[in-house]
Amino acid sequence: MMTEFSLTPLHPLFAARVEGLDLRRPLDEAQVAAIEAAMDRHGVLVFPGQELDDDQQMDFAARFGPIEQTRAAVDVQKQRLKHSAMNDISNLDEQGRILAADDRRRFFALGNRLWHSDSSFKATPAKYSLLHARSIPPEGGETEFADTRAAWDALPPAMQERLRPLVAEHSLIFSRAMLGFDAWTEAEARQFAPVPQRLVRRHAGSGRIALFLSSHIGRIRGMPVPEALMLLRDLTEHATQPRFVYSHRWAVHDLVMWDNRCTLHRGRAYDDQRFARDMRRVTLSDVAPTLDQVAA
Ligand code: OGA
Ligand code: MN
């Protein structure tokens, strides 16, 4: 079987395009190891022209680690996708119709347009996310990625020392509050209670240090809230400067895989009342809570 695939850089610092693989076919161990090595180096891999169904997307993802079983969604009883572990990143309801302007699920989905790292609000956050495009709008709806290892490297040493010991608290409730969304049920509020994460972590596969930012952060332990939120705003602004960002313009059947341990991402606006954007995400868990991972 062919192990070789081509890697084409998409940005001076990170992100690459992978060609020469058909992800519907089983991969051998050497191919999986080569993709993992490319992920460790590039943080984001784009696989164009992969016509996958839900089962094939799940099977490919499962080669890289345990799939997260619980999705973060409101109104989970009204779901469109057959696999309960698959995240619906669309603007469609369970009948495939565009969500109404005042639909709660639409407000919740708008949170994906804030810079974040997937599942940073879970005690053990995400490793990789694999997002597949089934249908896309004619304009807008790009996904942007930021390189948080490069962002760390570019911080002044005094700032690095200040950040190194810090622990942040993450919750979906914090990120949605940024958009004024606070209509939580009691069960959701319990499910999304804040979890602690290191603000600075060492990326296992590369040994490099990364800033662990996310719009899900609402506090930093031992710091007054306004000071913490201002610091996070400054750090996010730093980490998402154009020189650290790759913007992905989607084509149908692109599969994009990113490493949430060393990148941030956000969706961009599109006319979601007019055009369907059907994207489906499988998310893999990291091995342990970041508090157990030594930062330096
Ligand atoms: C995601 C996400 C952004 C987008 O799938 O985790 O944040 O562009 N998506 O849809
Ligand atoms: Mn996301």
Nearest CA to ligand 1 atom 6: 118
**CB neighbours of 29 closer than 8 A, spacing ≥ 6?**
none
What band does 282 get if pLDDT is binned at 50, 70 and 90?
A: very high
* Mean pLDDT, range 64-77, rounded to an integer: 83
What is the average pLDDT across 274-278? Answer: 98
Is the pLDDT at 146 greater than 70? The verdict is yes
The answer on pLDDT for 21 being more than 60 is: yes
Which residue's structure tokens are 């790292």? 117
CA–centroid distance, 116 to ligand 2, in Å, is 6
Domain residue spans in the chain?
A: 6-292
User: What is the per-residue pLDDT for 46?
Assistant: 99
**How confident is the model over 227-240, as a mean pLDDT?**
98
**What integer pLDDT is reported at residue 105 of this predicted model?**
92
Averaged pLDDT, 79-98: 94
**Whole-number CA gyration radius for the chain:** 18
pLDDT at 293 over 80: no
Q: How far is the CA of 157 from the centre of ligand 1 (A)?
A: 32
Distance CA 32, CA 34 (A): 5
pLDDT greater than 70 at residue 171: yes
* DSSP strand pairing (245-248 vs 143-147): antiparallel
Burial class (CB in 10 A: 0-12, 13-18, 19+), 17: middle
pLDDT confidence bin for 170, thresholds 50/70/90: very high
pLDDT band, very low/low/confident/very high, at 2 (cuts 50, 70, 90): low
**Tokens standing for 178?**
């940024």
Residue 4's pLDDT is 85
**Beta-carbon neighbours within 5 Å of ion ligand 2:** 118
Distance (angstroms) between ligand 1 centre and the Cα of 222 equals: 31
For residue 77, pLDDT over 90 is answered with no
Determine the pLDDT at residue 103.
93
- Would you say residue 296 has pLDDT above 70? no
User: Which token pair is 116?
Assistant: 């974040």
Structure tokens at 16: 């690459």
Residue 232 has pLDDT above 70, yes or no: yes
pLDDT > 90? residue 112? yes
DSSP 10: S
Q: Which residue has the tokens 């992978």?
A: 18
Ligand 1 neighbours by CB, cut-off 6 Å: 89, 112, 118, 129, 131, 143, 265, 267, 279, 281
Percentage of residues in the chain having pLDDT higher than 70: 98
Candidate of 112, 132, 145 to mutate for ligand 1, largest count of ligand atoms within 8 Å of Cβ: 112
CA of 143 to the centre of ligand 2 (A): 9
Q: Does domain 6-292 have CATH number 3.60.130.10?
A: yes
